């Protein structure tokens, strides 16, 4: 069969078009590059602590951001402090006038599935979710409210792989040390309430690096 020059030109134009039309729907969507992060500022009478949350622990990240934005943590206290270890807070019970229920959490509080596969370590300033012990919680489900910040300058790595680490302090590590040094009772509760407020600010990654030295 004889093919004319005109037909050849037409085929040359049609073939690339047909190939493009045959691609799956997702092929023309380039992956989005994350250029901004949400910085959480925890304000206390001893100073401010700023932290970022890891994207590869999405359940914990979303839960914490929602609570921080909704004002859930405002008025809660750091109810447990252990020098050279960690400071813990976020229990809504700590808003009331009864110090004996701090740390117990509200009844029937929901939990969050562990996100241990991300592999984040308990470095100085790590943000992690508190939880009940393995004997009643073998799945290592996290509390949906209480969290702790690692105050040990060498890290608390004996907890690695057991509790979900979902963020990192990027400014205010010295405030952790001040909190850990507070006078406390036999239950490690500060003798004076140290209440917190939180706000969330979205910033470009370049600005976060410039302000706080955090690399992405």
Quote the pLDDT of residue 169. 98
Check whether 20 has a pLDDT greater than 50. no
pLDDT digits (tens, 9 = 90+) for 70-112: 999 999 999 999 999 999 999 999 999 899 999 999 988 999 9
Mean pLDDT, residues 104-125 taken together: 96
Look up the CATH number of domain 36-212. 2.40.100.10
Check whether 54 has a pLDDT greater than 80. yes
Residue 33 token pair = 């590059």
Domain ranges of the chain: 36-212
Burial bucket for residue 177 (CB in 10 Å: 0-12, 13-18, 19+): middle
pLDDT digits (tens, 9 = 90+) for 192-203: 999 999 999 999
Quote the pLDDT of residue 150. 98
% pLDDT > 70, the chain: 85
Q: Which sign, positive or negative, has the C-alpha torsion 33, 200, 119, 124?
A: positive
| Contact of 52 with 149, CB cutoff 8 Å | no
**Rounded to two decimals, what is the model's pTM?**
0.84
Give the β-pairing of 165-171 and 47-53: antiparallel
Residue 101 token pair = 């229920």
Quote the pLDDT of residue 34. 72
CA separation for the pair 132, 74 (Å, rounded): 23
Quote the pLDDT of residue 22. 52
For the chain, what is the mean pLDDT?
89
Nearest to 115 by CA among 102, 132, 97, 128: 128
């Amino acid at each position: 069969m004889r093919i004319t020059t005109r037909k050849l030109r037409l085929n040359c134009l049609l073939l690339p078009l047909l190939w493009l039309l045959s691609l799956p729907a997702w092929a023309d969507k380039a992956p989005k590059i994350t250029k901004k992060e949400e910085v959480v500022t925890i304000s206390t009478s001893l100073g401010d602590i700023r932290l970022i949350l890891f994207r590869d622990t999405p359940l914990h990240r979303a839960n914490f951001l929602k609570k921080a934005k909704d004002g859930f943590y405002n008025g809660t206290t750091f109810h447990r402090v252990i020098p050279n270890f960690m400071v813990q807070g976020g229990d809504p019970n700590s808003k009331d006038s009864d110090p004996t229920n701090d740390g117990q959490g509200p009844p029937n509080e929901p939990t969050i599935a562990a996100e241990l596969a991300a592999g984040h370590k308990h470095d100085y300033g790590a943000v992690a979710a508190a939880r009940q012990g393995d004997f009643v919680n073998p799945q290592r489900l996290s509390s949906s409210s209480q969290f702790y910040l690692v105050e040990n300058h060498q890290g608390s790595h004996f907890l690695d792989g057991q509790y979900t680490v979902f963020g990192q302090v990027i400014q205010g590590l010295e405030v952790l040390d001040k909190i850990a040094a507070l006078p406390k009772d036999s239950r490690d509760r500060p003798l004076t309430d140290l209440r917190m407020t939180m706000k969330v600010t979205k910033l470009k990654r370049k600005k976060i690096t410039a302000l706080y030295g955090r690399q992405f």
